[in-house]
Amino acid sequence: MTPFLAEARAQFHAQCMARLVRVRADGVPNFADGSSPVSSSIAKGVLTQLPGDPIAGKLPGQSTGKEFEVLVLEFVQATFSRMTHLRPGRWRMLRSSSIDRYEQYAHLAAIDEARRRDRALMAAIAPDYQIKPNIVVLRETEGDDVLNSAGLLVDASTATYASLRQREGGLPLLHASISCKYTIRSDRVQNTRAEALSLIRNRKGRAPHMVAVTAEPLPSRLGSIALGTGDVDCVYHFALPELVDAVASLDYADALELLQHMIDGKRLRDISDLPLDLAT
């Protein structure tokens, strides 16, 4: 019997091949840096292990990154919905939603409004807190009927400030922020790190999961996000076992060592690991 997450992963790859992955005339896929022979070789090795036949051509304009976001969102929606026995609650997943709509960051809307009314504040406070993560995972608040469903847990005078408790004007809780980068370049690395640090610095309450999902084939570029701690929780590759096999088969010893270092150091995981990690 095939595990559900294995089936979901296979479906994710099938959708990537049908809707996202494109190849040049020389067979280099669009998740490679075509100017780098190493990147191109590794990406080709990954591609041969994915289901279906690659499609020649290009996707128009900026649609590549957006389509990758949509595919990751669909994967998270399909898989995390099966985790309710591990993580009960009412959950929603959205694309490109401002963080000031959620409980831990609602105060940022008031700061922004004050900035707009006061030129001195506008000059003094940089708007680096204005973040729209590529994908957010939200938990809805719960009414007292749910909280007390297994016995009297709260009443009108108990736990009245808890974020999970539904109240007038209460907002959903930001459970996770997912940064999607189909490929990694230096500017994109800085954006991912800056967003994560802002989420940590500007929150009131528990920090959300902060993760990145990518199809980048070069281990050195993966390391620019994955190595170290304090920014993102972890980086998830859209086809990690296939990436490891491709690097190993090409005998890139240094790249393979770096890749294994990130995996052993719990900084790099496969897309199939993401739903279970979000359930923690």
Q: What is the pLDDT of residue 187?
A: 62
Q: Judge residue 74's burial from the number of C-beta atoms within 10 Å of its C-beta, 0-12 exposed, 13-18 middle, 19 or more buried.
A: middle
When the pLDDT of each residue in the chain is averaged and rounded to a whole number, the result is: 92
Q: What is the pLDDT of residue 179?
A: 95
Q: What is the pLDDT of residue 229?
A: 74
Global pTM?
0.93
* 73-129 tens-digit pLDDT: 999 999 999 999 999 999 999 998 889 999 999 988 887 777 677 776 666 666 665
Q: What is the pLDDT of residue 263?
A: 98
State the sign of the Cα–Cα–Cα–Cα dihedral 214, 255, 195, 174.
Answer: positive
**Length reported for the chain:** 280
Q: What is the pLDDT of residue 125?
A: 66
Residues 6+ apart with CB under 8 A from 9: 270, 271, 272
Q: What is the pLDDT of residue 189?
A: 73
* 43-56 tens-digit pLDDT: 999 999 999 988 99
Residues of the chain below pLDDT 70: 115, 120-129, 186-188
